Amino acid sequence: MPFDYRRFNGPEDSVSYKRFSEDFLRTYDELYKDLLDENGKRKDGRALNEARSLCTSISRTNIVSQAKGSAYVELNKTKVICSVFDPREITGHQNEYSWFGQIYCEVKFAPFSCPRKRRQLVPDSDEKALSADLKKALETVVRRDKFPNFQMDIFVYILEHDGGCLSAAINAAGLALADAVVPMYDIVSASSVAIINDQIIIDPTEAEEHLALMYTDKEKNHGLVTMCFMHHLKQFTDFRQIGSVDAECVLKVMDILEKECDKLMLVIKKIMVSNVVRQHNEHKVLLEEAKFREEVLQSKVEEWRKLLNAG
């Protein structure tokens, strides 16, 4: 078991104090009763089929200045940051030449990101699975034939986890890739759905996800579906479902998610366009400033020359 020795760790068998709070031990039925209020709204005031909007003002690209491209995505409390680095050549003599570029993905939770536990610094199986899923979703979209035998690194850091982190990570990565001007076939967008007791809940929060995967004796459908979609090609690049859902429900969810992704696409496009506009404006401002400085310098030079000529 890898262990982080640079930090002060509690005793191995220590548990979070939250374990002894009443909230922690609530049963499925109690939690289910609390899921919706009397008006059929969710805790955060959304309707069942209402997604959290990707705030265009907050979600933006070009966040990490060291990276080639980066993006920050915020869905209410879910906050994800993603950076994409330049392709670098795959070294190591035992590797064969690969005709397609490789994508390396790493998803990391911040230690304080999860409401239920503290995340360790060493990657756990959750994070590894998320990284693999992200890689699967992106490999299809990126034109890997454009950079043979090169590897591109994509890092996703989840600052706060309140449900839908895989879809948020994919959306952020799509934006960051576009920001890094990586050639792609299409724009990707991802969306998720929770199914609790036959009810379909779009864009679930962490509490709702937890409830969807909780252990229950009920025979009804429960589960979590995440889908990644290419808008113009009308193709899934990734589809993941866990839980227990019958065939009819899966088909229904597919249609719903397709519509959700289409809605998201508009927002993503807007962010991309606004980003280009902003960069263009910034560029313009920089040019003007440069011109102004040049003029100032030029006038100084003139002045000096005059002084010199005057002796």
Partner 1 sequence: MAGLLLSRTEKVYIVNGIEEDFRSDGRSNYDYRPIELETNVVSHASGSARLRLANTDILVGIKTEVDIPKPETPGLGKIEFFVDCSANATPEFEGRGGEQLANRISNILQRAYHASQAFNLKQLCIFEGKQCWKLYVDILILECGGNLCDAVSLAVKAALFTTRIPFVKAALMDGGDVDLQLSDDPFDSKPLVVGTAPLLVTLCKIGNKFVVDPSAEEEFCSIVSVVIGVSGNPAHYTTEKIENVESKFTTIGMSGVGGLVPDTLKSAISQGIVAAKCLDSALGRSLLRERQDICSYKKDSYGFLK
Where does this chain bind partner 1 (CB under 8 A)?
15, 19, 24-25, 116, 125, 128-129, 132, 136, 139-140, 213, 215-217, 219, 221-223, 225, 230, 233-247, 250-251, 254-255, 258
- CB 136, min distance to partner 1, A: 7
In the complex, what is the shortest distance from the CB of residue 56 to partner 1, in angstroms, rounded to a whole number? 27
Using alpha carbons, list the distances in angstroms from residue 235 to 5, 165, 185, 229: 45, 21, 11, 6
145 neighbors 236 (Cβ within 8 angstroms): no
Closest approach of partner 1 to the CB of residue 8, in Å: 23
Q: Smallest distance from the beta carbon of 287 to partner 1, in angstroms?
A: 41
Could you tell me which of 178, 181, 205, 179 has the C-alpha nearest to residue 194? 205
Question: Of 39 and 125, which has the nearer Cβ to partner 1?
Answer: 125
Query: CA-CA distance, 43 to 137, in Å (whole number)?
Result: 31
Q: What is the DSSP letter of 53?
A: P
> From CA 221, how far away is CA 219, in angstroms rounded?
7
Give min distance, CB of 39 to partner 1, in A.
30
Residue type, 6: R
* 31 half-sphere exposure, CB direction, 13 A CA radius: 20
Torsion from C-alpha of 243, 248, 250, 251, nearest 10 degrees: 180
